[in-house]
Amino acid sequence: MRSRERTLELIDTQSGGDVSRIVVAGVEPLPGGTVLAKARYLEREGDGLRRLLLSEPYGDPAMSVDLVVEPSHPQAQAGYIIMEAMGYPLYSGSNTICTVTALLASGAIPMRPDDGLQNVVLESPAGPARISVRVGDGRVTSVTTQGEPAFVADVGLHVDVPHYGDVRFALVWSGAYYALIDAARHGFGVTAQEQIALTAFGDAFVRAARPGLRQVHPELGHVGPLPFAHFMGPLRELGPGRWESASATYVHPGVLCRSPTGTGTSARLALLAHRGQIREGQSLETISPRGNRFVGTVGATAQVGDYPALQSTITGSARLMARSQVTVDLDDPLVDASDLEHVLSAQAR
């Protein structure tokens, strides 16, 4: 390999249609005593990696990137840093599902030899993600993950959005701050035919809503401006304690998720519980505009700072798409090496 070329080893996966590229080799060890500290360092000093893998010609902004790093939590088998178009979310359900599937399929975490449930702990920037994996025929068939406790930060908020008028929303934390919006109030059925319109609405809404909204988590500190809007369809009862709902998550700037998203589903559960519409042990199946589904189940109550919070689990599955080595030519004019070169290993491991 020539001295100005670097190699990244990737496992491409998808969960609910959302693609996550898992970086398993080719990046130098990052400074920081926790995965959160490593993520903060990468955001501050090495954001070129995120831009490279989420931009043409190497990637697409609709994808996510998960960098596997050393964990600090004593129970965690691996750590992972999540990168998206909006920046560095502290937790993500679909990215967790994809990362644990890739680590088990590649042997980085040994998979149990027989069929059944396997418990895994990964360390996200938000802390430990406790995961139950169902294994069958030598592959991961489903994943249930418990991540960040969700809490309702504000209700009854509203903002005037150009061309759309007054938009009412609730602000909920579930690994990032989400604005939850009643889709029907604005004429949306959250269907496949509305994806472009929902993306345009989400973009206009986030730009209008960001000024003045909180950017601080009571325990994790500064978390940046509002990154997500979640459009809620009506609830439909499936049976005792079980509901489903059309749902769509907008990621700023300009991405409408293929899946209903794990953190979006957790935020919806927290809001339903806040309204007294759902309780522990009950579940909500969210359905994206493309028909992909996650199941969220209400867990125990918790506390985050001064906020009553809610534990929940998200169940979904991931599929392997590709295993690849990507060559990064640091002399390529399309590669911005200014905050990239120092985080890449001189040779693949």
HEC string for 134-195: EEECCEEEEEEEECCCEEEEEEEEEEEECCCEEEEEEEEECCCEEEEEECHHHCCCCCHHHH
**Shortest CA distance to 296 belongs to which of 304, 286, 308?**
286
Q: What is the mean pLDDT of residues 77-105?
A: 96
Number of domains in the chain: 2
Do residue 47 and residue 137 come from a single domain? yes
* Contact criterion met (CB below 8 Å) for 59 and 278: no
* Contact criterion met (CB below 8 Å) for 32 and 38: yes
69 assigned to some structural domain: yes
Do residue 303 and residue 200 come from a single domain? yes
113-137 pLDDT, tens digit each: 999 999 999 999 999 999 999 999 9
28 assigned to some structural domain: yes
Q: Which residues pair with 235 in a beta bridge?
A: 245
CA distances from 191 to 240, 247, 252, 254 (A): 26, 9, 20, 17
Catalytic status, residue 3: no
Map tokens 């601080």 to a residue: 216
CA distances from 338 to 14, 47, 188, 235 (A): 30, 10, 43, 49
Residue 349 banded pLDDT, cuts 50, 70, 90: very low
- Is beta strand 307-316 parallel, antiparallel or unpaired with respect to 139-146? antiparallel
Do residue 139 and residue 173 come from a single domain? no
Residue 35 banded pLDDT, cuts 50, 70, 90: very high
Residue 307 banded pLDDT, cuts 50, 70, 90: very high
Do residue 134 and residue 155 come from a single domain? no
Instruction: Determine what percent of the chain is predicted with pLDDT higher than 70.
Output: 99
Do residue 156 and residue 303 come from a single domain? yes
71-83 pLDDT, tens digit each: 999 999 999 999 9
Do residue 259 and residue 213 come from a single domain? yes
196 assigned to some structural domain: yes
Do residue 126 and residue 173 come from a single domain? no
CATH code, 237: 3.10.310.10
Average pLDDT, the chain: 95
348 assigned to some structural domain: no
Whether residue 27 has pLDDT greater than 70: yes
Which secondary structure element, helix H or strand E, spans residue 14, and what is its range?
Answer: strand 5-15
Q: Would you state the pLDDT for residue 347?
A: 64
349 assigned to some structural domain: no
CA distances from 238 to 45, 211, 234, 274, 279 (A): 48, 39, 13, 21, 15
Do residue 124 and residue 155 come from a single domain? no
Do residue 186 and residue 264 come from a single domain? yes
Do residue 133 and residue 215 come from a single domain? no
Q: What is the mean pLDDT of residues 263-275?
A: 97
Q: Which residues, other chains included, contact 168 with Cβ-Cβ below 8 Å and sequence gap of 6+?
A: 156, 157, 158, 181, 182, 185
Q: What is the mean pLDDT of residues 84-107?
A: 95
Catalytic member of 20, 64, 92, 94: 92
For residue 290, the enclosing domain spans 150-316
**Shortest CA distance to 127 belongs to which of 13, 15, 37, 215?**
37
